[in-house]
């Protein structure tokens, strides 16, 4: 009983040392992982367009990140794996509101169903943020919204489905996005120039492909659901055109990514 005060004092004295060592070890681990995965870094990181394509609609999928590529067991699969519509247990209809950074928000509606091993679905997403323009005197001369709207159509099929091996699901998306830039004003008259925003507005065309395998491995309990899922997905592969005023040019690269997930 008498040794407890001594141990308490010793613990308090050594705590900063342990914290320092722990901090150093975590930094070393972080640096090591950053160096290993730097080989997979996108050369266009930070310079891509249509970033709203990367904003998830559901909080559950958002919390799992791209690891959801290997799970994709509800309608949030629209951002991660195009093959999932052929293996969902139920028909699903969803309405999502994502209050994102600052005043920006994402509204979406999605529907998916399947007939046997064939699945299909569609989704519509709209990201928007208020846009206000002020003149040199601080007076508001324009108020509108910057927005990016995306339409998605999905088809998929589950091949070789059986009792133990649940098959190889493969699917694809066809997607198109429209970026709307509000009209801006004339510096001299403060009057909005009709159609001026079209020079920076853009349209994008892209496609996704996804694969998802489900099977049992080292399973020591009874269940119809397989205990292993492996998913691979290529998303947002395509191109965008800027300038809908008749002078269209290739836009910045789209946020294309290759994801591998295991659950």
Q: How does pLDDT run across 148-169, given as a tens digit for each residue?
A: 999 999 999 999 887 778 889 9
Nearest to 183 by CA among 163, 202, 198, 168: 198
Nearest to 214 by CA among 73, 92, 114, 113: 73
| Residue 72 Rama label (left phi>0; alpha psi -120 to 50; beta) | left
More confident site: 174 or 263:
174
Cα–Cα distances (Å) from 158 to 38, 87, 90, 211, in that order, read: 34, 7, 15, 9
Q: How does pLDDT run across 223-255, given as a tens digit for each residue?
A: 778 888 999 999 999 999 988 777 778 878 899
Cα–Cα distances (Å) from 80 to 34, 50, 56, 138, 144, in that order, read: 23, 16, 9, 43, 31
Q: Which of 149-158, 188-197, 198-207 has the lowest mean pLDDT?
A: 188-197
Q: Return the structure tokens found at 156.
A: 């998929």
For residues 178 and 151, what is the distance between their CA atoms, to the nearest angstrom? 9
For residues 66 and 209, what is the distance between their CA atoms, to the nearest angstrom? 15
pTM of full prediction above 0.85: no
H/E segment holding residue 41: none
Residues 6+ apart with CB under 8 A from 216: 164, 165, 226, 227, 228
For residues 168 and 159, what is the distance between their CA atoms, to the nearest angstrom? 5
pLDDT of 4 reads: 59
Q: What are the backbone dihedrals phi and psi of residue 241, each rounded to the nearest 5 degrees, phi first?
A: -120, 130
Q: How does pLDDT run across 118-157, given as a tens digit for each residue?
A: 999 999 999 999 988 787 777 777 778 899 999 999 999 9
Strand bridging mode 168-180 / 228-242: unpaired
Residues 6+ apart with CB under 8 A from 119: 84, 85, 86, 87, 88, 112, 113, 154, 155, 156, 157, 158, 171
For residues 70 and 131, what is the distance between their CA atoms, to the nearest angstrom? 38
């Amino acid at each position: 009983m008498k040794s407890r005060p001594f141990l308490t004092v010793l613990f308090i004295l050594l705590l900063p040392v342990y914290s320092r060592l722990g901090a150093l070890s975590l930094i070393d681990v972080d640096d090591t992982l950053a160096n290993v995965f730097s080989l997979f870094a996108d050369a266009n990181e930070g310079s891509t367009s249509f970033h709203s394509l990367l904003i998830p609609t559901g909080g559950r999928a958002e919390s799992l990140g791209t690891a959801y590529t290997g799970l994709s067991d509800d309608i949030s699969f629209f951002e991660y794996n195009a093959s999932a519509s052929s293996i969902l247990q139920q028909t699903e209809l969803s309405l999502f509101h994502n209050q994102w950074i600052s005043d920006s928000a994402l509204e979406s509606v999605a529907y998916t169903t399947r007939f046997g091993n064939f699945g299909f679905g569609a989704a519509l997403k709209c990201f928007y943020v208020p846009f206000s323009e002020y003149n040199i005197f601080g007076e508001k001369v324009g108020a509108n919204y910057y927005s990016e709207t995306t339409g998605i159509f999905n088809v998929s099929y589950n091949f070789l489905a059986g009792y133990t091996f649940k098959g190889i699901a493969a699917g694809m998306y066809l997607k198109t996005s429209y970026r709307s830039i509000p009209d801006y004003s004339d510096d001299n008259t403060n009057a909005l120039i009709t159609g001026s925003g079209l020079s920076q507005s853009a349209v994008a065309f892209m496609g996704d492909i996804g694969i998802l395998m489900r099977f049992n491995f080292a399973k020591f309990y009874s269940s119809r659901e397989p205990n292993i899922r492996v998913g691979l997905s290529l998303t947002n592969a395509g191109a965008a055109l800027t300038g809908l005023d008749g002078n269209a040019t290739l836009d910045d690269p789209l946020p294309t990514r290759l994801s591998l997930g295991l659950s």
